[in-house]
Homo-oligomer: A and B are copies of this chain.
């Protein structure tokens, strides 16, 4: 008989690696280092709890939180793919599907199936919960960039038109957040922290 607790603990130890997977953003008060996936996932879960009232369609906050806690687990194998890196985004889906098979496969079958289903739903974006989770996932890096005067945008030479194009999905879930995001970007351009891009 397979011991459920042993499988659960093996998974819990495996996902500790999320603390070592670096993203392209920085903590506001530690701009010399990059944020990791564990920190990011915690921050998103907190944001979902607080901002759910701004979703245009009804969302199940507990499901959105769960989705955000697990949405980056595939990066344990597949790594973080920078949103503005066109080449790396081409085989992203295949790498992440393989990762999902292995990582969620560590759990007892019923739990692995449930979390995999939630991750598939997140990726498909066909439900209001998944759309809102995506909106939060896009909104957080913008907030961190604004709070650091566009630090990582400058490092990568990103322009306002690309930021707006990449984050338009925020508007699929929340007019209020999308409108606020556009205001933030306009302020950054006005303050000279983000070039507008091709006119």
B62 touches A35 (CB 8 A): no
Closest to A28 in B: B16
Type the 1/0 row for A22-65, where 1 means its CB is closer than 8 Å to any CB of B. Answer: 00000111100001101101110111011101100000011001
A180 touches B5 (CB 8 A): yes
- Name which of A6-14, A84-92, A154-162, A189-197 contacts chain B: A6-14
Size of interface on A: residues with Cβ below 8 Å to B: 46
Is there a chain B Cβ closer than 8 Å to A74's Cβ?
no
B46 touches A12 (CB 8 A): yes
Is there a chain B Cβ closer than 8 Å to A19's Cβ?
yes
Residues of B within 8 A of A42 (CB): 18, 38-39, 41-42, 45, 69
Within the complex, which residue of B5, B20, B180 is in contact with A176, where a contact is CB–CB below 8 Å?
Answer: B5
A16 vs B25: C-alpha distance when bound (angstroms): 12
Chain B nearest Cβ from A77, distance in angstroms: 14
Within the complex, which residue of B4, B13, B65 is in contact with A65, where a contact is CB–CB below 8 Å?
Answer: B65
Is there a chain B Cβ closer than 8 Å to A143's Cβ?
yes
CB neighbors of B among A141-165 (8 A): 143-144, 147
Is there a chain B Cβ closer than 8 Å to A168's Cβ?
no
A45 touches B27 (CB 8 A): no
Residues of B within 8 A of A69 (CB): 42, 45-46, 49, 65
Is there a chain B Cβ closer than 8 Å to A111's Cβ?
yes
Type the 1/0 row for A157-183, where 1 means its CB is closer than 8 Å to any CB of B. Answer: 000000000000000000011001000
**Given A49-B66, A49-B69: A29 touches B20 (CB 8 Å cut-off):** yes
CB neighbors of B among A103-152 (8 A): 107, 111, 143-144, 147
